[in-house]
Amino acid sequence: MKYIVQNSSSTYQTVIEEVINQNKDKIFDFFEHVEIDLPFNVYIYDSIESLVEGLHKRGFSKEPDYMCACFKDEDCSLNFFEPKDKPNENEWSKDDYKKVIFHELVHGIQFLIYGYTSEWINEGIANYLDGTYQKGIPWLMENYIKNNQSLIKKRSKKNLDAVTMIVMIMLISCFVI
């Protein structure tokens, strides 16, 4: 792996390396795949704003407002920011952000093994492995709505009902399988 760190005095690379090294076996085991080298470029930005700006400078312009990390298959990169040492209640703590690092690692490893796959399967597997589905359907629906406010406002009531039904069917099928 190659690390590109915005702040050369940052030690957050060590945290990311620990999360990766502690969890990659679990992910490879889930996919029933032998461990392979991880050829990722790992970008570490100073803030969420720097992360979004850095992605735009690298040619990725369609990132949602709420994005706090991502795996980009186009350049095989994991993209993170370093949370503040003392975040307020609306910001990521360093401990909580470790779950985000794990989630994006799932996407990266899944891409290395299978190449391009549908977003619903990518997110479904990552959410399953990171424990998101253990929070229950009401939390999942609330989180979906919160993170898609601009999309929801653009849709009519009829379309919103259809989207809600599709999401519910997807979520329920995850629990049944």
Q: Using one digit for the tens of pLDDT, what is the confidence trace for 98-124? A: 999 999 999 999 999 999 998 888 988
| Those residues with Cβ within 8 angstroms of residue 107's Cβ, 6 or more apart along the chain or in another chain | 71, 122, 126
Q: Using one digit for the tens of pLDDT, what is the confidence trace for 151-170? A: 545 544 444 455 565 666 66
- Give the pLDDT of residue 72: 94
Residue reference for tokens 């503040």:
84
| pLDDT under 50: residue ranges of the chain | 152, 155-160
- Give the pLDDT of residue 169: 64
* Spatial separation of the C-alpha atoms in residues 28 and 33, rounded to whole Å: 5
* Spatial separation of the C-alpha atoms in residues 155 and 113, rounded to whole Å: 36
Q: What is the pTM of this model?
A: 0.77
- Domain 2-116's class? alpha beta
Cβ–Cβ under 8 Å, residues 44 and 12: yes
Q: Is 88 helix (H, G, I), strand (E, B) or coil?
A: coil
